[in-house]
Each structure stands twice: as C-alpha cells, then as structure tokens.
Structure 1
C-alpha cells in the first residue's frame, strides 16, 4: 500500500483510514497534510499480524470514544527502524529511536508523535491478541508506554526477526507463516519478560516452549551459514550442549537432523525453480550451507532416493509441460 497511488490532497486521509482499519481507530494530525506521504503493508501470521508503515511526521491520539468505536483487544509492539517517535499511555511516556520498541494496549487511550526532527519514520507493529499473550496482564501493563531499548540481547534478536519476517515472509506459505507468527509471539513475550526482570516468572513448560521456538527461529535464519552447528546454537542461546539436546528430546528429530532436513528442503525447492535453472547445483548447495558437493549429493540421495541432478531434471521437465497436458 502506498500513498503515491493516491491524489496528493487525499493522502493524509488515506493514511488515517488505512491505519484505522489495519491497526485500530486513531485520530491523526499533521502540519503539512498537502505534502504528506506514507506507505505500508500487512502480513497475516495467524497467531499475530505484522504491519509496516513509513510516513511523514505527524501526531496521533486514541481517545476513549475511539476505543469504544473499535477495539481489536491486542497488545501492539512497535519497533522503530528509522526516525524517532514518542508515546504515552497509562502513565508511561517514552521516546524511541531506531532499534527501540514501545508496547501499547489497544483497549486504553494513548497519545503519540513521530518525526520530531522533521524526518519520516518507519515502524513495524506486531499485533498480538491478548488471549495469545503468555504473560499475566497485570505484569504486561507495567510496560505500557515504556521504552524497550534495542540493539542488544533478546530485544535485538526480536527486532532482527521482525525485519526479516517483513521482508521474506511474503514468500512463505500460510502454514509457514503460522509457525513464524507463533515464534514472533514467543520472542516478544520473552523480550517483555526480560524487561520485567524477576517480577514475572513463566512456567517451566512455557519457558521451554519459548526457548525451543527461539532456537528454531535461529536455525531458520542461519541455514546458509556452513558453520551452523549444535555447539554454535547452544553458545548463542547460553545453553550447554546437553541442555540443547534435551530441548529437542520430545521433537521428531534432533538438532543436527533438523538443520540437515531444513537445508535439504531449501535445496530441493531451489532445484525445482525454473528461474534458477542456470545456477549450478553446487551453487545452490553452498547457498544453504553445504560446503561439499559430493557430500550434498549423497545426503540428498539418501533423503529423497534420487540424485540432485535427476530430481532437478524431472522437476523442470514437469514445470515446462503445458498446463493441462495429458501425461505421455
């Protein structure tokens, strides 16, 4: 969605309507409505939604009347990736710059402003239904309108995950997006729990489930790294190897098998793509972390009972056949 497709005199009203529909009913004010510009998008993650907006400086306000007009009953976590914003809700007030996050409750009034320095702002908003939030509401309420500093720790991991999700998520299937949505919610909950410190303690099962999703998300985003090993994963998540393997005890496969299977799945998908037919098999294998072409061929054949070359030839032949053609 982009305001460039809207007549200049209607762009501010267009943006206000889009935000009210995608996020929640909100009142906006801009000093220069005639020169206003904005663009945005929305990704449905099943368990949550991720919106992305870039817009010119403005102020916004959600009044009690607007809350009564429409309330999606969500916690919304805003990640600033460019520019600056300020936000006030429930006695909390925060100034957020690039990399910082702010949490708000759609069931309560708030005020906010952006572009105090005159520059446009880019914000990613993770919309989490309250029923999906694993943390107690009385604890989450303590973080409303508070700045969550980014750049280090789990806040940085969450921020990177949301940016990658917005960029690469549109290429994922609905089923994959549903799993990624669960990961996003778990990462956000872990990040917020970290902000609360010892004030909140998640049940052991919830902590293990959240940690497993974090590990799976890490694996997914580093499949192309040939140095991705259980040891690296354990170190990056401050776990012992024994604890990491215990985390996968009830899963269908272990850590190493999970990495291998996901890499093979990516390779198989790329081998079947007509637009990649000119790429060498070893190039595709290397892109997904296989450093030895011979080892990749053996692993691929063991998994799928066909060589990469034969699989590719058959997949591309089927892709080239006219639609609706009867099998020969």
Structure 2
C-alpha cells in the first residue's frame, strides 16, 4: 500500500477470492470511501446496487464502501507448456486499486452513484489514471516522501476527471480540477508526439481546442513553459538512446531526428548546454557492453 495523503494506492496479488460487504459490516464501520480497481490479470465480477459488472483487464470497476457489494476474482488458468510449469504454484491474479474519501470527489454523490458496478474502459482520462497508478505502484522507489502531497492532488484530480467524463459532468468540476485534467491530457499528448517535428505550442493548443495563450497560462507560476518541457523531454530521450548499447550503430543525428530534433547544430548546442558535454563525448563516456554469454 502507498499512502499519498487522503488517497491510498494498493497493488495486490491473490489466488481465487470471493468477498462480500454486508449492511451489518457497513453499520459497524464505514470509512465512506470510493474504490477504483483495475485488474491486470484474471477475471473479476462485482455486484452492487443490483447491478452486476464483469470486468475485463482493460477496465476499471468502481464501488462504494457505503453500500453492500459482492466481488469475485479468479485467476486465468493457462495451459501448461512443460511438466515443470504444470507442477508450479497455482495461478494468481493481480489488481491495482485506489481508494479516496467520498467527500474528496467534487461531484454530487447522487450522480456518482450511477457508476457503481459499471465497467469504466481505460480510455480518455481513465487511461491517464491507469498510467499514473501503474507508475507509482510499480516503481514507488522513484518517488520521495516529499512528493506525496503533489501525487495525492494529482490522483484526486485524475479520479474526479475520470468520473466526470463518464457522467458527462466535466463542466461541473472546480476550475482548478479541470485545469489539472487538461494538463494531464496535454502531458500525455506531448509524450505521444515527441518525435513529431511539428510538435509545438500551436499544434498542442489546436489539438486541445484552446488558444496558445490559454495553453501557456496552464504553466503560469512555474519555472518552465510548454516549449521548455518539449525540449527537455526530447533531449532526455536522446540522452537515454545514446546510453543504450543496442543503439550504438545508429548515428547520433539519426537518434536526434527520431525525437524531433532535426537541426544538427541546434541539437549539439542544446545537448551541451543541458548536459555539459557534446553528444559525441557523452556517448564515448558510456561503459562498453559486457561480453555476450
């Protein structure tokens, strides 16, 4: 479990399991939480509010601790390929989930109730939420304790935006949540189009149906701009590729061009200004790959 603040992230693996939360349990203790769970393997089903949801591994399921529910999870049995695999441990399922207080979601609970026990495909904001949860639960060591507050805010904004998108209530969200959701979409767009030579503030704004001025306003008060962000990420991808021994046969400028930096002199100047050495020297400083075994 990763405690971010008001939100909790959980990654767990389990054999076949069936659970039920009854009215009596709720009367005894109700933390009044919402849970969004994303099964990564196996088959799952949830019953709540007289609705039954069969969940695929490409879908979130959504439940409330304040209402009775039943859920079942079954690992998918793969056909053994060898005698050793047939004698191996029984299969397990894996799920990641995030729990947040119901009071932290700035949407009417009467509306949110409509999503209980319904599959939420990992598209749009749900796709960004899935990537966010996977990144933190898979590599918690990459984050510092001081990052918790910022990550907590991001989790709440992504969850709120995901639910609002499925309810067609995005305009009902607070302005700051809408802005954070828009930034998350823009961030994902930049990642997907880093290799596009034409990627710029203008093309990003056009793709998201906003003005360039509005786009730059999203980064007001920070030490970076959209243009700086694109440049830094492109240079970082080039740096990683120059470290990769599997790409040693590729020319430096072919690597730069793959990440949208097509001007040789401009790339060399930016790389040296950022990393203190030329791309050629940086590549030469990397340790030689070990012998093949």
1:46 is displaced (CA, Å) by 4.6
| Counterpart for residue 146 of structure 1 | 118
Matches within 5 A, 1:114-125: 114-115=73-74, 121-125=93-97
| Counterpart for residue 159 of structure 1 | 130
| Counterpart for residue 78 of structure 1 | 37
Supply the distance in 2 between the matched residues of 1:49 and 1:293 (Cα, whole angstroms).
46
Picking from 55, 65, 90, the partner of 1:96 is 55
Residues 41 and 75, structure 2, Cα contact 8 Å, conserved in 1: no
SS at match of 1:135: coil
Supply the distance in 1 between the matched residues of 2:203 and 2:63 (Cα, whole angstroms).
35
If asked which structure has higher relative contact order (CA below 8 Å, sep 6+), I would say 2
Picking from 70, 75, 87, the partner of 2:46 is 87
Supply the distance in 1 between the matched residues of 2:257 and 2:147 (Cα, whole angstroms).
23
Q: Does 1:136 align with 2:108?
A: yes
1:106 is displaced (CA, Å) by 2.5
1:207 is displaced (CA, Å) by 1.5
Give the TM-score normalised by the residue count of structure 2: 0.68
Residues 226 and 289, structure 1, Cα contact 8 Å, conserved in 2: yes
Over residues 254-298 of structure 1, what are the superposed CA-to-partner deviations in whole Å (9 max), with x where a residue is unaligned? 211122235556777999x9xx79987949968976556643331
| Counterpart for residue 247 of structure 1 | 218
Matches within 5 A, 1:6-21: none
Supply the distance in 1 between the matched residues of 2:28 and 2:12 (Cα, whole angstroms).
23
Over residues 140-161 of structure 1, what are the superposed CA-to-partner deviations in whole Å (9 max), with x where a residue is unaligned? 233222222x154333343344
| Counterpart for residue 269 of structure 2 | 298
Number of positions where the alignment pairs a residue of Structure 1 with one of Structure 2 = 269
1:74 is displaced (CA, Å) by 2.6
Structure 1's 200 and 105: CA in aligned 2 closer, same or farther, altered over 3 A?
farther
Residues 195 and 260, structure 2, Cα contact 8 Å, conserved in 1: yes
* Higher alpha-carbon deviation: 262-271 or 130-139: 262-271
| Counterpart for residue 178 of structure 2 | 207
Supply the distance in 2 between the matched residues of 1:199 and 1:216 (Cα, whole angstroms).
19
Residues 89 and 108, structure 1, Cα contact 8 Å, conserved in 2: yes
Structure 1's 286 and 68: CA in aligned 2 closer, same or farther, altered over 3 A?
farther
Supply the distance in 2 between the matched residues of 1:307 and 1:245 (Cα, whole angstroms).
31
Structure 1's 293 and 80: CA in aligned 2 closer, same or farther, altered over 3 A?
farther
Structure 1's 158 and 277: CA in aligned 2 closer, same or farther, altered over 3 A?
same
Structure 1's 180 and 259: CA in aligned 2 closer, same or farther, altered over 3 A?
farther
